[in-house]
């Protein structure tokens, strides 16, 4: 039995450090605005889930805080944390089972998320279901006596208050071949 997987980038956060000595406040303001625009774009593209900015002033001015820490959390997102594939064989033929794990921007398992996907290869069809308390949903293909490869691809995840971030998927599809 051969298992084929499609890896994807893991969720990311951004940390930025700015150290100043007798800062030009106008230039510092321009830098902050430029950084804010870049962070907004990266969040819009679902490339990052959070941003932490630390500003340190080494001039020792007593009227201003020496260190400022700003933590920005983006919108809540969900993504595919894993897809596992198993194969069963009976007299009626082969069937594949795909178990999809859904996680949020913090890596926590997500229950009650609606997952949609498609089977391709030996069987075809669209399926959907809701994740359990353990953040997983299992889909089983139809049986076939033909040998070849079953492939399952997640096409969407919906959950009220969350955005699906497919670029964060650890896997978007997985395959398993018959012997």
> What are the b/e assignments for 82-119, b being 16+ CB within 10 Å?
bbbbebeeeeeebbbbbbbbbbbbeeebbeebbbbbeb
On whether the CB atoms of residues 39 and 48 are closer than 8 A, the answer is: yes
Domains of the chain: 3-8+77-177 (2.60.40), 13-73 (no CATH)
Spell out the alpha helix ranges (H) of the chain. Answer: 25-44
CA-wise closest residue to 98 among 70, 125, 61: 125
Cβ-Cβ contacts under 8 Å for 98 (sequence gap 6 or more): 83, 84, 85, 117, 138, 139, 140, 141, 152, 174
pLDDT digits (tens, 9 = 90+) for 120-168: 999 999 999 999 999 999 999 999 999 999 999 999 999 988 889 999 9
pLDDT of residue 15: 83
pLDDT of residue 13: 75
pLDDT of residue 151: 98
- Here the tokens at position 117 are 């996907």
Beta-carbon count within 10 A of 145 CB = 11
pLDDT of residue 6: 47
Low-confidence ranges of the chain (pLDDT < 70): 1-11, 44-46, 49, 60-75
CA-wise closest residue to 10 among 86, 79, 88, 110: 79
- Here the tokens at position 133 are 């308390």
Beta-carbon count within 10 A of 9 CB = 10
On whether the CB atoms of residues 101 and 136 are closer than 8 A, the answer is: yes
pLDDT of residue 52: 79
């Amino acid at each position: 039995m051969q298992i084929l997987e499609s890896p994807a980038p893991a969720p990311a956060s951004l940390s930025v450090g700015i150290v100043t000595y007798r800062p030009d406040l106008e230039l510092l303001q321009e830098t902050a605005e430029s950084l804010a625009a870049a962070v907004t774009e990266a969040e819009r593209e679902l490339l990052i889930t959070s941003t932490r900015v630390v500003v340190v002033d080494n001039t020792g001015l007593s009227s201003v805080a020496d260190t400022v820490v700003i933590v920005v959390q983006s919108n809540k997102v969900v993504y595919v944390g894993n897809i596992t594939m198993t194969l069963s064989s009976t007299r009626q033929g082969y069937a594949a089972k795909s178990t999809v794990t859904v996680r949020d921007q913090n890596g926590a398992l997500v229950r009650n998320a609606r997952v949609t996907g498609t089977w391709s290869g030996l069987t075809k069809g669209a399926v959907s279901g809701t994740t359990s308390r353990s953040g997983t949903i299992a889909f089983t293909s139809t049986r076939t006596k033909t040998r070849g490869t079953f492939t399952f691809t997640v096409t969407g995840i919906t959950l009220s208050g969350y955005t699906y971030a497919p670029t964060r998927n650890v896997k978007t599809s997985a395959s398993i071949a018959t012997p």
